[in-house]
Amino acid sequence: MNGEEPFYKKPRVLLLLIIILASIAVMTVSYKNGELKVGSNLKYGLDLEGGSWLQLQLQGAIVQVNADEKKIIQTEFEKLLNDPSIKIEETTFNSITFTTSKQTTQKIIDDFGFGKSTISQAPDGGTRISLQVNSNYVLQKYLENNLNAEIIQIEGNLLTFEIRKTVTEDELNAILKPVDGKVNTFKTGVSAKTREETKNILEIKLNSLGLKEIPIRTVGDNYLLIDLAGIDINTAREIAAKPGKFEIRIQVKGNETEHVLYGTDLTPGLPSKEKGDSWGVSFTLNDAGAAALRDAAIKYGAVSDPEAHELIMLLDENVVYNAPLSPDLARNIQSVPVKNMIANTGTGDDAQKKANQLQIHLKAGALPVKVDVIGAGQVSAELGSKFKLQVLIAGIIALILVAIVVSMRYKQPNIVIPMLSTSFSEVIIILGFTVLVGFQLDLPTIAGIIAVIGTGIDHLIIITDEVLAGGAMPPDKVYRSRLTKAFAIIFSAAATVLVAMSPLLIMGFGALRGFAVITIVGVLIGVFIARPAYAEVIQGMLVEDSDRTFMGEE
Amino acid sequence: MNLINEKAIDDYVKKFNFKQILIIPAILLAVSLLILAYTTITSPTHSPVELGMEFQGGMAMIFDSAKTPEQLKGDFSAYPVIQAREYGGGDRKLLQFGPMKESDITEVTKKINSEYSNSDLEIRQMGEVVSQALQGQALRAILFSFLGMGIVVFLIFRTFVPSVAVVISAFADIVFAAAMMDVFGIALSLGTVAALLMLIGYSVDTDILLTTRLLKRKGELSEKIKDAMKTGMTMTLTTLAALIALFLVSSGSFLVSTFTRIDIIRDISVVLIFGLIADIINTWMTNVGILKWYLEKGGTVEKRVEKPKKRRQAT
């Protein structure tokens, strides 16, 4: 070994040292608002912090179907017009023409929602109806009517729909059978867009609770995982599962307000850009709602002095919007109940965001798809901190016991110390990794780290015994060849662990994903970074001490 | 004190007749399979291991209460209580419910939160439909994991008998661990499934070490077995030491009065402990036995030594 650089200058060892230092830095130093802060950056899961979690399943299906659109029009209008003798006359790319023996009007046909119609008198006394509609839409409408659910077209894919309801493939086939149709592809779940929409609405609802950070994670195609620090399981379930209570109140005097109407009297429209670039959300009141608003406006004087009697919108008793009646509206409402209104949010991007949010509030936080709570849990904060302390103690005791066992076997500090330090450095690097990717440390993840340390020590023992076969540090050439053999065993063993753990990545709705990811990442870190460095270190340590430490057995 | 008693290993390797010794793991495997079969027939769910809350649906609540399990059962008699029992020592209690209606879930969680929210309360709930889906997933995960491991082992050794020996040993480890779960009343949870998968990957470590040493190294067979055993036993003992520490600390207030039971850590450690105990037997009896028989009969060891050597020279 003469003339060679010492082990601590070898690239593999340097790499390990750099990664350890980087991991420590990542774990302890944070940079916020131009300030460097030192403190633990580790994030803990709810089972260590206290709080509750919900696993939500979004009910829906993505389907690709086909059916005969003529049959659909025929069966649907037979039902709608109560006429068994609907006859399809003609179909083109974007229209369908049929006749009915019944007398009807364009308004009635249009209200069925199958498309814009033109009506003419049929020669035999009935009505000839021409619908402006394409097959995609006909099918969508058919599913909507027969499933009694919201159906969304998936853009860019012909005859592909999202059904926002729990439905099975068989049920769907049964519905399509009378119109010569069938399901071509069926997948439970919802589209990414719907998932994001649901997530956004939940986030807004949770924001109203004043939680500063609400991690909602998506798992697979149709699961959401919500962690709610410091909230009990009942509150959590209520927020997620139930729509809120929407109410409009009117300002009487100062802070004093009176009830006007509830969300049940109101149908929200879409956020839109009004004249003069200002954003707003339209909404429609039913007759009772419109009357209530008019009465309240007159009773409390909003018609004469709108500025002093603002309308206030509340969701679950939190104010989400307030504004005075516009002068026009104040004037009109005196004479006649107004049903269509717009809540204005101002101009610019910010106003657009506000309009989107307000629309969600108007829907009383109703989610686009049905959401089932499939799993839930709660850990009190005190219990969480007990767990944290206890796991730390367990880790320390495990490390001490491992140290004792390893010392009993090898006895030489220049094997035992590098071995334990390597193992410990693997822990540091894994923790650094969790901070870097924003991973939460929860109990399963910590169990994963401990498991990795277990395999790690095993591999270090393999390296040591393989290299020191016969008890002495061999010359460099033999050392290299033995190391290759050792790593052949280690890589094989690591490969089996990786393969065996991989099912956990997708299993259990993500519950054990942390465990699986940490095990896999930990094994990779160990095999490619820590263990090669260990091999260099013991070679260096033992060569340096070669004059006194060999316990030969040959 | 020495961790590994070399004389004992020496004696073991020299004196033992490996054909006779295979009887011990064979009996162990047979007994384990019988236990699993018995449980499958007698258990209400007809599964080889008892299914925990996560795989049956329902709700589990763990908290401190001075009341007896019977009293707690009475307090919640309006709901489908499956079991109420002491849990990890001290005042700790576990109350488990079967699947319930949404409204009942809300009522029970409200009741428990109003009475025990300051008693280190932990609640876990799993829907029935999903838990059944989870059963299938767990079964597939274990099968996939085992098959994957088997394929990797075959790819590594590329010879039939040694690969099969490794796979058999791993199989026996898992079967033993599962049987011990039945004997000690440990239910299948997400934690124990994770532990079984971990065991699949873990238990072949020593088998791979042994097989590689015996097939790809030159030297006298019993010397090679002895060396492999020294390394392998050290590996298993260190891991066992760490797992025993985890098990003791996560088991509850038996050691230290302020400790509380941590299910997932306890589940994982206890299954791995049983698995590794089986692994000692299956690696150093089953796997050694099969390999010794194979090598003494076929003498293919020389070929195995030549091949990798040539490859190494070429690179």
pLDDT tens-place string over residues A6-23: 777 788 888 999 999 999
Task: Determine the pLDDT at residue A275.
Answer: 67
Does any domain span residue B158?
yes
Report the distance separating Cα A16 and Cα A13, nearest Å.
5
Q: What is the CATH number of the domain that holds B105?
A: 3.30.70.3400
* Length of chain B (residues): 315
B234 and B111 in a common domain:
no
User: Which residues in B lie closer than 8 A to residue A450 (C-beta atoms)?
Assistant: 242, 246
The two tokens of residue B40 are 């499958």
Domain edge (last residue) among B96, B126, B156: B126
User: Which residues in B lie closer than 8 A to residue A511 (C-beta atoms)?
Assistant: 190
Task: Determine the pLDDT at residue B300.
Answer: 55
Task: Determine the pLDDT at residue A509.
Answer: 60
A27-40: b (≥16 Cβ within 10 Å) or e: beeeeeeeeeeeee
Report the distance separating Cα A15 and Cα A84, nearest Å.
81
User: Which residues in A lie closer than 8 A to residue B120 (C-beta atoms)?
Assistant: 380, 382-383, 386
Report the distance separating Cα A171 and Cα A241, nearest Å.
25
Max Cα distance, chain B (Å): 77
Q: Which of A301, A300, A322, A303 lies closest to A311, judged by CA? A: A322
Q: Please answer yes or no on whether A233 and B123 come within 8 Å at the CB atom.
A: yes
User: Which residues in A lie closer than 8 A to residue B205 (C-beta atoms)?
Assistant: 455, 458, 493, 496
The alpha carbon of residue B192 is apart from the nearest alpha carbon of chain A, in Å, by 11
B232 and B211 in a common domain:
yes
Task: Determine the pLDDT at residue B309.
Answer: 41
Domain edge (last residue) among B126, B145, B178: B126
Residue A549 clears pLDDT 50, i.e. is over it:
no
Q: Please answer yes or no on whether B238 and A453 come within 8 Å at the CB atom.
A: no
Residue A338 clears pLDDT 90, i.e. is over it:
no
Task: Determine the pLDDT at residue A210.
Answer: 65
A388 and A322 in a common domain:
no
The alpha carbon of residue A407 is apart from the nearest alpha carbon of chain B, in Å, by 9
A231 and A174 in a common domain:
no
Does any domain span residue B214?
yes
pLDDT, mean over chain A: 83
pLDDT digits (tens, 9 = 90+) for B5-17: 888 888 888 887 7
CA A238 distance to own-chain centroid: 19
Does any domain span residue B22?
yes
User: Which residues in A lie closer than 8 A to residue B260 (C-beta atoms)?
Assistant: 383, 386-387, 390
A232 and A270 in a common domain:
no
Residue A298 clears pLDDT 50, i.e. is over it:
yes
A424 and A501 in a common domain:
yes
The alpha carbon of residue A188 is apart from the nearest alpha carbon of chain B, in Å, by 13
The alpha carbon of residue A85 is apart from the nearest alpha carbon of chain B, in Å, by 45
Q: Please answer yes or no on whether A504 and B197 come within 8 Å at the CB atom.
A: yes
B250 and B170 in a common domain:
yes
Task: Determine the pLDDT at residue B314.
Answer: 42
Q: How confident is residue A254, by pLDDT bands cut at 50, 70 and 90?
A: confident
Cβ atoms of B55 and A508 closer than 8 Å: no
A92-109: b (≥16 Cβ within 10 Å) or e: eeebbbbbbeeebeeeeb
A263 and A204 in a common domain:
no
Does any domain span residue A357?
no
Mean pLDDT of all residues in A344-369: 79
What radius of gyration do chain A's Cα atoms show? 34
Identity (one letter) of the amino acid at A329? L
Mean pLDDT of all residues in B275-284: 94
Q: How many CB pairs under 8 A join A and B?
A: 238
Task: Determine the pLDDT at residue B310.
Answer: 42
Does any domain span residue A554?
no
Does any domain span residue A493?
yes
A533 and A405 in a common domain:
yes
Mean pLDDT of all residues in A202-230: 76
Name the residue in chain B with its Cα closest to that of A511. Answer: B190
Does any domain span residue B113?
yes
| pLDDT more than 70, % of chain A | 93
Q: What is the CATH number of the domain that holds A193?
A: 3.30.70.3400
A319 exposure class (CB count in 10 Å sphere: 0-12, 13-18, 19+): exposed
Q: What is the CATH number of the domain that holds A327?
A: 3.30.1360.200
B93 and B64 in a common domain:
yes
Mutate to test the interface with B, among A224, A235, A441, A458 (most CBs of B within 10 A): A458
Cβ atoms of A309 and A252 closer than 8 Å: yes
Q: Please answer yes or no on whether A496 and B216 come within 8 Å at the CB atom.
A: no
Domain edge (last residue) among B76, B99, B126: B126
Question: Element (H or E) spanning B126, and its range?
Answer: strand B122-126
Does any domain span residue A501?
yes
Phi, psi of A143 (to 5 degrees): -65, -40
Partner residue facing B234 (CB), from A409, A447, A492: A409
User: Which residues in B lie closer than 8 A to residue A383 (C-beta atoms)?
Assistant: 120-122, 260
Q: What is the CATH number of the domain that holds B11?
A: 1.20.1640.10
A70 and A40 in a common domain:
no
Partner residue facing A390 (CB), from B151, B238, B260: B260
Name the residue in chain B with its Cα closest to that of A495. Answer: B152
Phi, psi of B47 (to 5 degrees): -125, 150
Does any domain span residue A142?
yes
Task: Determine the pLDDT at residue B308.
Answer: 45
Residue A310 clears pLDDT 90, i.e. is over it:
no
Domain of residue B88 covers: 58-126
Which residues does residue A343 pair with via DSSP β-bridges, in sequence order?
A281
Name the residue in chain B with its Cα closest to that of A497. Answer: B201
Task: Determine the pLDDT at residue A89.
Answer: 85
Does any domain span residue A300?
yes
Across A2-11, A206-215, A441-450, which has the greatest mean pLDDT? A441-450
A151 and A127 in a common domain:
yes
Identity (one letter) of the amino acid at A346? G
Task: Determine the pLDDT at residue A548.
Answer: 44
Does any domain span residue B164?
yes
Q: Please answer yes or no on whether A383 and B120 come within 8 Å at the CB atom.
A: yes
Cβ atoms of B35 and B183 closer than 8 Å: yes
Partner residue facing A374 (CB), from B117, B127, B194: B127
Beta-strand runs (E) in A266-409 = 266-273, 278-285, 311-315, 318-323, 340-347, 371-379
Does any domain span residue A29?
yes
A266 and A239 in a common domain:
no
Report the distance separating Cα B76 and Cα B69, nearest Å.
11
Q: How confident is residue B37, by pLDDT bands cut at 50, 70 and 90?
A: very high
Task: Determine the pLDDT at residue A554.
Answer: 37
Q: How many domains does chain B have?
A: 2
Task: Determine the pLDDT at residue A445.
Answer: 87
Q: Give A432-485 as a DSSP string.
A: HHHHHTT--B-HHHHHHHHHHHHHHHHHHHHHHHHHTTTSSPPPHHHHHHHHHH
Report the distance separating Cα A45 and Cα A445, nearest Å.
9
Task: Determine the pLDDT at residue A357.
Answer: 78
Task: Determine the pLDDT at residue A226.
Answer: 86
Name the residue in chain B with its Cα closest to that of A389. Answer: B259
Q: A506-515, A545-554, B21-30, B101-110: which range is least confident on average?
A: A545-554
A176 and A87 in a common domain:
yes
Q: How many domains does chain A have?
A: 4
The alpha carbon of residue B13 is apart from the nearest alpha carbon of chain A, in Å, by 18
pLDDT digits (tens, 9 = 90+) for A365-409: 677 788 888 888 899 888 999 999 999 999 899 989 999 999 999
User: Which residues in A lie closer than 8 A to residue B194 (C-beta atoms)?
Assistant: 444, 447, 504, 512, 515-516
Report the distance separating Cα A115 and Cα A98, nearest Å.
13
Task: Determine the pLDDT at residue A553.
Answer: 40
pLDDT digits (tens, 9 = 90+) for A492-547: 999 999 999 888 887 656 667 788 888 899 999 999 999 999 988 888 887 654 44
Domain of residue A330 covers: 246-350
Which alpha helices (H) appear in chain B, and where do they start and end? 6-15, 18-21, 23-42, 53-56, 69-75, 102-116, 128-157, 160-183, 190-216, 221-250, 263-281, 288-298, 301-314
Q: Which residues contact A91 (CB under 8 A, 6 or more apart)?
A: A69, A70, A97
Report the distance separating Cα A194 and Cα A222, nearest Å.
10
B137 and B181 in a common domain:
yes
B67 and B105 in a common domain:
yes
3-class secondary-structure state, position B212: helix
User: Which residues in A lie closer than 8 A to residue B159 (C-beta atoms)?
Assistant: none
Task: Determine the pLDDT at residue A151.
Answer: 87
User: Which residues in A lie closer than 8 A to residue B145 (C-beta atoms)?
Assistant: 499-503
B86 and B190 in a common domain:
no
Does any domain span residue B1?
no
| pLDDT more than 90, % of chain B | 44
A280 and A232 in a common domain:
no
Report the distance separating Cα A79 and Cα B314, nearest Å.
81
Q: Please answer yes or no on whether A380 and B121 come within 8 Å at the CB atom.
A: yes
Q: A199-213, A454-468, B52-66: which range is least confident on average?
A: A199-213
A458 and A418 in a common domain:
yes
Report the distance separating Cα B311 and Cα B306, nearest Å.
9
Q: Please answer yes or no on whether B198 and A519 come within 8 Å at the CB atom.
A: yes
What radius of gyration do chain B's Cα atoms show? 24
B164 and B71 in a common domain:
no
Strand order from edge to edge, sheet including A61-66: A151-153, A160-163, A61-66, A182-188
pLDDT digits (tens, 9 = 90+) for B118-160: 888 999 888 888 888 888 888 899 999 999 999 999 999 999 9
Across A4-18, A459-473, B31-45, B245-259, which has the greatest mean pLDDT? B31-45
B269 and B147 in a common domain:
yes
Give how far Cα A331 sits from Cα of A173, A290, A305, A306, A326, Å: 55, 15, 10, 10, 9
Q: What is the CATH number of the domain that holds A416?
A: 1.20.1640.10
Residue A348 clears pLDDT 70, i.e. is over it:
yes
3-class secondary-structure state, position B40: helix
Task: Determine the pLDDT at residue A544.
Answer: 53
Does any domain span residue A111?
yes
ipTM over 0.85: yes
Cβ atoms of A7 and A532 closer than 8 Å: no
B304 and B158 in a common domain:
yes
Q: Please answer yes or no on whether B4 and A507 come within 8 Å at the CB atom.
A: no
A300 exposure class (CB count in 10 Å sphere: 0-12, 13-18, 19+): buried
Report the distance separating Cα B43 and Cα A111, nearest Å.
59
Does any domain span residue B18?
yes
Q: A112-126, A209-223, A329-343, B226-240: which range is least confident on average?
A: A209-223
Report the distance separating Cα B137 and Cα B194, nearest Å.
12
B177 and B310 in a common domain:
yes
Q: Please answer yes or no on whether A450 and B110 come within 8 Å at the CB atom.
A: no
B68 and B41 in a common domain:
no
